[in-house]
Structure formats: structure tokens, C-alpha cells
Chain A
Amino acid sequence: MRMCACSAAGRADFSGPTRATLALTVIEVEQLRKTYGDLTAVNDISFTAHPGEIFGLLGPNGAGKTTTISCISGLLTPTAGHVRILGHDVVREGTAARRVLGVVPQEISLYEDLSAIENLNYWGGAQGMRNPLLRERVANVLEITGLQDRAREPVKQFSGGMRRRLNFACGIVHQPKVLLLDEPTVGVDPQSRVRLLDLVRAQAQSGTSVLYTTHYMEEAETLCDRVAIVDHGRVIAAGTLAELRSMLSERDLLRLSGVFQPDAARAAIEHLDGIEILQADEGLLILALPEASRRLPAIFAALAAAGADVRGTTLTQPSLESLFIKLTGKELRE
């Protein structure tokens, strides 16, 4: 069962720009579509992002997040739609758009046999920076990423977390107005993750517009000002965290696994007030309801009367993950 909180066409501008914000729009993605033969990787995605804002693209692996970022950074040419960075179309005015763009790829993209300084010098140079400004910025990003002590060592001697930080540093060395971060914390230890998230916040505070993709809902919840939830190339929900939570009406999500007769179970639950059935099949029952823990005995009794054999119970408080489950009928990490 799939449910969608967006419009019937599944296509809407979730940014809801007002006249005031439109003037400050930095990233403008309009009905973006990318297909590979019969496969549609990105399907009519639209959103905007503003200066100082962290906009999250949240979705499972294969949802289309990286393809979206690749289209925005000019690596891929969209099949349809438009992407504008500070008013520059990334297809027609690619060089101008890329000048204000900083990209932190999902994979570590560094010269392993070069030192941190040499990497930063090269990537800063590729962004058009020259000395003495480049030297100054390199020193600055080494300091804020905490790599100044190891700056002259080859990257191949770095730990995973240090590489991630340097990967990030190479994306911000030229002080971009727009920063694209493609799952920058994948495979990172908790300490380095916290540090990286702090760095992202600092960038946003300095006025950079950040587009952040992740499949960690906790990151999106703690970091992003606004989030678009993506699945199968579509935005299925978007808004501020408060707006998204309101879609769940403060209800808990109750997942019951076991052996069910779907029709009998559905009938039994429908007799109970205030419970929405999100999914009901032979092995799984997903319910949305307020104060679920208090009502568990009544639910078990009703299901037992309907011949169900409940073997497992998972109760989830309202969160982006529960919203994702509500919208798609599956967990975010599936």
C-alpha cells in the first residue's frame, strides 16, 4: 500500500515560496526529470532553497537523491525540467553556475598520494582561486576541519573520518554560495559525524545554502530546516519538520508482525476508535493511532478474537521515519 501526502499528480513545489523568499532563492529545481531508457530515476522533482538554509533530501538508497544532486551540479543533463543556481541555468550557463557551487561527493574523491594541503590547493585552483587568497583559505579550512596537524601527510595515511573531513574541506575551500552534500556521513564514526554536522551548520550560518542528502532520518531531523522525502524518484512529502510531523497528527506508529487474516484483522481494528490501518496483510499489520501504548491490550484482544497470532510488536513515536513508513508502507532503510 502506498500513500502520498502530496497532490494527486505527485508533483508540487513544496518550498511554497513567497514573493520575499523568491527573491532570495539560491537553488531552484523545477520539474526535474532524469530517465535512463525505461528507468525513471528522478520524476518531476521541484523545490527551492534559500541562503543560510539547510534543505534535506531524505530517502532510501536508490530513491534518486544522488541523481538529483548530479543534475544540480551539472554532472548529468536533465531529461526535462530546469535547475538554476543563483539564476544561472546549470545546462546553458554551466560554468557560471558551477563557480558558486561546492560539491561534497558521497565517495571520498581525493588524491590519496597527495597531502591535505596539496589536495586543497588543487581543488581550490580548479574552482578558480589563486594565491594569496587560496593559501589563506587552505589554512582556514584546515583549521576548521581540525586537520592542520596532519596537513602535510599523504591522505592515504588518514583515518576514514579524517578523509571525510578533507573531502568536505575540498568542497568548501572556495567559499561556495551553494553547497551540495551527498550523504557525507556514510561510514563515518559517531565522533566524526558530529563534527561534520557542526561544519555543515557553520556553513549555513555563514549564509551558504546547503542541500543535504541522507538516508539517516536522525540527521535530517537534527540538521535540516526543511526536508523533502524522496522515494522512487518522487518527492512524496516536503516541508519543515513541524509541517511534516503534523501529517502524522501526533500519532504513534504500531507495527504488528505475526499471522493474520487480513480481512478479519481489518474488521476487528475498525471497531476500535481513532485507529488508521496503513497496511494489512498476512504477515504484517501497520496502524497509526494516538497513545498506542495505552491501547495495546484492547488491540491485542480484538486481534485475538479475529484469529490473529501476534508475534512481534514495534511502537514508533512520530518522526520522519514513521512518516516515511506511513507514506510508503516500508522502512527508510529497506
Chain B
Amino acid sequence: MTMGFLAISLRKDWARMRRDPLSLATAAGIPLVLAVLITLVFGREPATPRGRLLLADEDDTVVSNLIAGAFSREPLGKMLVVEKVGREEGRARIDRGEASAFLLIPKGLQHAFLLDQPFRMQLFTNPSERILPQIVKETLSIVVDGAFYLQRVAAGQLHAFAAKGTPTDLEIAQVSVSISHLATNLDKYLNPRVIDLETEVAQAKTAEPSFAAILLPSMLFMGLLFIANSLAGDIWKERVAGTLRRLASAPVSMAAFLASRVVFVAVVYGIVAIAGLVAADKLAGMPVPSLPAAVLWMAFVGTVFYLLFLWIAVQPATQRAANVLSNLIIFPLSMLGGCFFPFEWMPAWMARMGRLTPNGWALTEFKAILDGNAGAAHLAASAALLAGVAALAFVLTLRRLRRGFAV
């Protein structure tokens, strides 16, 4: 094959692809759509209700601030936004349904708490909501219960506070320490130790792969398969248009034609791989530590897929039969080979089988490249194996083209 024909042929194929971009876009777009759908269904954090708690703190003391703080800590902090308001504003807004609940803490809370006197706080809830007002109510009950038990076990210290008026920092620290000692003394009765544990520091666990790192390699390989199928189907367009037959009567060999197609396909895959990997990295957070190796592997594997699908496409006698046959092969292969559902989500026995399929094997190698676990020698051996498969598919396809398909 002369370089001249290669250049002319590449120009022709490139121009044809530019005029009909939909074929390639469809093949590449199916995995993209699936990835988005799967991410929407499985990939997000569990949905968390987000509500608003209005708080009118007229006491504005340490104790009232502790109560307000209880609603701002995790995990309530993720569910509720605490907004301080005045009494009237709070009532008006909860009446308008602008919040999940409104808590009114009148003046005198701290004093009543320290002296163990009855006190009344008011909680107004939004009847149009069910979950968040209930959570606020339960939380407030726990806080009140906690205050009750604290008064039971530390009444002396609390009374001392009340007698001294506003405590100093030192006094707060002293009371805190004495309460801590009290709690420690009670601990053996409240939480009796029934099991002795031996503590062993385990090695740091490898970070779990992210959702994107699991899903996107599969989607990229699904794209490779669909693109291979689409590009291989083009041989039927050539046949139906009569251009294949015309070419057979030209001095340029069918091997040169096929080789030029393979080069074109490799270039297309190179572009698709770069675009796909960069997008996966930048948009979805899939780590790609070695972009050149990943691109080369995708382009190489895609070209081998193309040759395999081309060989399949030229076997039947009609275009319809070729479409049916390639669909019969591509869908089970995609599903079993980890391209629809990642191996990580499959039952172990199915994942084991899937890794034996051509695309499953290539995908496993690809993930090893992404994880940085693929050695150069191992990759070279894998590439040699793929090259052998590609050469065989090339020869068999060429034979079929020469023996009847082209004419």
C-alpha cells in the first residue's frame, strides 16, 4: 500500500464521517446516556430532607445556647437550618408555613434549670410537613430529658451556680470537672463492661474506589464496542453503494483498502479515547493517572474490536442478517463483559465469567492501567496477544472480501 493511497483513503473516510456524524455520535452517546441514568439512580448520596428551624431565644444564656446548638450539630445540622428570629416574626412565619418548626425559649430558662424549677418552652410545628417537625420534637424531648437527669445527678453543683449569679470561666471549668468525675463514677453502673477487648491497630485501609471510578471505565468500553459495531457496519454501506465492487476493479489491493480503514478507525478511537478520558477525569472525577497509556490501550482495543465486528459483519449474505448477528453478539458481550454493569456490581461467579470475554479481559487490563497496577511487561504481553487476534481477524476478513463479499 502506498502512503499516497493511505492519505487519500483517510481523507475520504474523514470527510464521510464529518458529513454523517450522527452514526458515530449515536454509538458514543448510548453509553453516555446510560452513565448519566445510572448515576442519577445509584450514584448520588441518599436524599436528605432539608428544613428550617426558627428559634426565638429570649433567654440568650449558656443553657439556651446549648439547646440551640443541639440542632446545629451533625447529623441534625445536615437536615436543619437554624435561623434566629424574634417572637412575633417566628409566629408569623410558621403560620405562613415558611419553616418546619418554631421554638420559643422565653427568658428565665437558665435560672429555672439551675434551680430545678418548672419552665415552659413553646414548639410550633408546620402541619404540612411530617418528618422534620417530628425530628425537632424528638430532639427537644431528648434535650429536656438530659436536663432532667443532669439535675438529678448534679443538683448541688447547679445550685451553686445559681447562687453565685453569672459564673466565671474558672467556675464553669470546676463544675464541668466535677460533673465529669461524677459521670465516671456512675459509668461502671450504667455501662458495666461485659467483654474485654484487645485493641490492634490495623493497617490503613485502601480507599474505596469512587462511583465514577467503578462505572465510567465500563461505560467507556461500552462506547468502544458500539463504535466498533457502527464502523464495521459501514462495510455494508460500501457494498450497497457499489463502491466496494468498483474498488475491486481498481489496481489498489483490497488489503490496502482494509489497512487504510484500520488506520482510520485507530485514529477515530484515539480521538474518542482522549475526549472520553479527559471528560471522565474533569467532569466526573474518574482518576486517570497515566493518560497516554490509557488512550493507547483504548485505541488499540477499539481497533481490535472493530476488526472482530468487521469479520462478523461480512459473514452473512444480507445487511439485515449482519445487523441481527452483530446485535446478538454485542449485547450479551457487553452485559457479561462488564460494559453494562461493572464487575464490582455483579455476583462473583458472573464477574469471573465476564472477565474471560474479550471485552471483559480488556476492561480488566484497562482498570489496572487506571489503578497504576499494570506493569510494562504485562501490558506488552497483552498487547501482543491483541495484535495476534487483530491480525487473524484482518486476514479472515480480507479473505471474505476477496471471495465474494466485495463483488
Binding site for B on A (CB under 8 A): 70, 73-76, 95-96, 98-99, 101, 103, 105, 107-114, 118, 121-123, 125-128, 130, 154, 170
Contact = CB atoms under 8 A, between A and B. Distances in A.
Interface centre among A95, A96, A113, A130 (most CB of B within 10 A): A113
10 contacts: A70-B407, A74-B248, A76-B407, A105-B245, A107-B242, A108-B242, A114-B16, A118-B11, A121-B8, A126-B250
B20 interface: yes
Contact of A103 (B9, B249, B253): B249
A269 B205 CA distance: 111
Interface centre among B2, B250, B407 (most CB of A within 10 A): B250
Contacts of B250: 98, 123, 126-127
Contact of A118 (B12, B241, B242): B12
The 7 closest A-B pairs by CB, nearest first: A109-B242, A125-B8, A113-B19, A73-B249, A109-B246, A126-B250, A98-B251
Contacts of B20: 113
Contacts of B386: none
A114 B250 CA distance: 19
B353 interface: no
B246 A105 contact: yes
A137 B246 CA distance: 19
Interface centre among A75, A101, A122, A130 (most CB of B within 10 A): A122
Contacts of A127: 250-252
A109 B243 contact: yes
B18 to A, nearest CB: 9
Contacts of B245: 75, 105, 109
Given A111-B241, A122-B11, A154-B19, 19 more contacts: A73-B249, A74-B249, A75-B245, A75-B248, A98-B249, A98-B251, A99-B251, A103-B246, A105-B246, A107-B242, A109-B243, A111-B12, A111-B16, A114-B19, A118-B15, A122-B9, A125-B5, A126-B250, A130-B4
A282 to B, nearest CB: 43
B252 A126 contact: yes
Given A111-B12, A114-B19, A101 B249 contact: yes
Contacts of A70: 407
A36 to B, nearest CB: 12
Nearest to A131: B4
A126 B245 CA distance: 13
Contacts of A118: 11-12, 15
A110 B253 contact: no
B93 to A, nearest CB: 64
Contacts of A101: 249
Interface string B226-237: 000000000000
B407 to A, nearest CB: 4
